[in-house]
């Protein structure tokens, strides 16, 4: 999508403002303890070739892994294009989350793009700000949380050729403010990704 000079300047100013607010409230991280390994650095928890770009330092956080794989009936370029439209996320998110994108249109997806969401989880209103940390059209993209309900959220989406369709993988690494809540959070995430898988399959079959 082509933006005029004024639109581009406005979008850039808005993204800088969001980033400033997020960094003002940033969590501190030194290194994370993986759920089934000894203490290690942040970079060691990321997939090969990925780096953590947030300048904030991060305190030790127990991390968890959610991995999903799904075969879609469209080629990788088409599957990727569906997710390249941020508003499609509303269509594949469970209605009980009351999920809405708060970022003003147009949203031009690329490395560094900031997207703000609003939702309700167990009736609690939540504002979530993410940044696109990797963007490789047709292949993969990564989003990380800058502000939201998690201490740490790093979500890698990959798209690989699979016959006449696509093998899509989701790999989410996350940490919580209170790890005792993990059983509840894990259950919620499974429900959300189950709903998402069913919704994406229906869209890709149309």
For residue range 47-92, what is the model confidence (pLDDT) as tens digits?
A: 444 444 443 434 567 899 999 999 999 999 999 999 999 999 999 9
Return all residues near 112 (Cβ < 8 A) that are at least 6 apart.
Answer: 15, 131, 132
Give the model's confidence band at 6: pLDDT under 50 very low, under 70 low, under 90 confident, else very high: low
pLDDT higher at 4 or 194: 194
Distances (CA, A) of 35 to 27, 42, 62, 131, 142: 20, 13, 6, 25, 22
Provide the domain limits for residue 46: 5-205
Q: Is the pLDDT of residue 117 over 50?
A: yes
pLDDT digits (tens, 9 = 90+) for 8-55: 555 555 555 555 454 444 333 323 333 332 233 334 444 444 444 443
Please answer whether residues 61 and 35 qualify as being in contact, where contact means their C-beta atoms are separated by less than 8 angstroms. no
Can you give the pLDDT at residue 99? 96
Can you give the pLDDT at residue 172? 97
Mapped onto helix, strand or coil, the DSSP state of residue 52 is coil
- pLDDT exceeding 90 applies to what percent of the chain? 67
Which region holds residue 49: left if phi is over 0, alpha if psi is between -120 and 50, else beta? Answer: left
E-strand ranges in 102-164 read 114-121, 124-136, 140-147, 152-162
Q: Mean per-residue pLDDT for 121-139?
A: 96
Can you give the pLDDT at residue 65? 97
pLDDT digits (tens, 9 = 90+) for 182-199: 999 999 999 999 999 999
pLDDT higher at 148 or 8: 148
How many domains does the chain divide into? 1
pLDDT digits (tens, 9 = 90+) for 158-190: 999 999 999 999 999 999 999 999 999 999 999
For residue 119, the number of C-alpha atoms closer than 13 Å in the C-beta half-sphere is 18
Q: Is the pLDDT of residue 153 over 60?
A: yes
Sign of the Cα pseudo-torsion (167, 193, 108, 146, in order) = negative
CATH number, domain of 101, equals: 3.30.530.20
């Amino acid at each position: 999508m082509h933006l005029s000079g004024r639109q581009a300047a406005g979008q850039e100013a808005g993204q800088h403002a969001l980033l400033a607010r997020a960094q003002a409230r940033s969590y501190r991280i030194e290194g994370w303890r993986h759920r089934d390994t000894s203490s290690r650095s942040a970079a060691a928890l990321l997939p090969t070739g990925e780096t953590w770009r947030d300048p904030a330092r991060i305190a030790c956080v127990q991390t968890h892994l959610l991995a999903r794989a799904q075969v879609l009936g469209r080629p990788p370029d088409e599957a990727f294009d569906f997710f390249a439209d941020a508003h499609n996320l509303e269509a594949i998110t469970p209605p009980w989350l009351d999920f809405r994108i708060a970022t003003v249109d147009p949203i031009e997806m690329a490395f560094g793009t900031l997207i703000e969401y609003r939702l309700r989880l167990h009736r609690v209103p939540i504002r979530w700000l993410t940044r696109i940390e990797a963007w490789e059209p047709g292949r993969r993209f990564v989003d990380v949380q800058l502000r939201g309900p998690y201490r740490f959220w790093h979500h890698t989406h990959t798209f690989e050729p699979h016959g006449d369709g696509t093998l899509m993988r989701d790999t989410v690494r996350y940490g919580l403010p209170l790890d005792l809540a993990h059983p509840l959070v894990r259950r919620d995430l499974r429900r959300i990704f189950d709903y998402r898988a069913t919704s994406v399959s229906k869209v890709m079959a149309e």
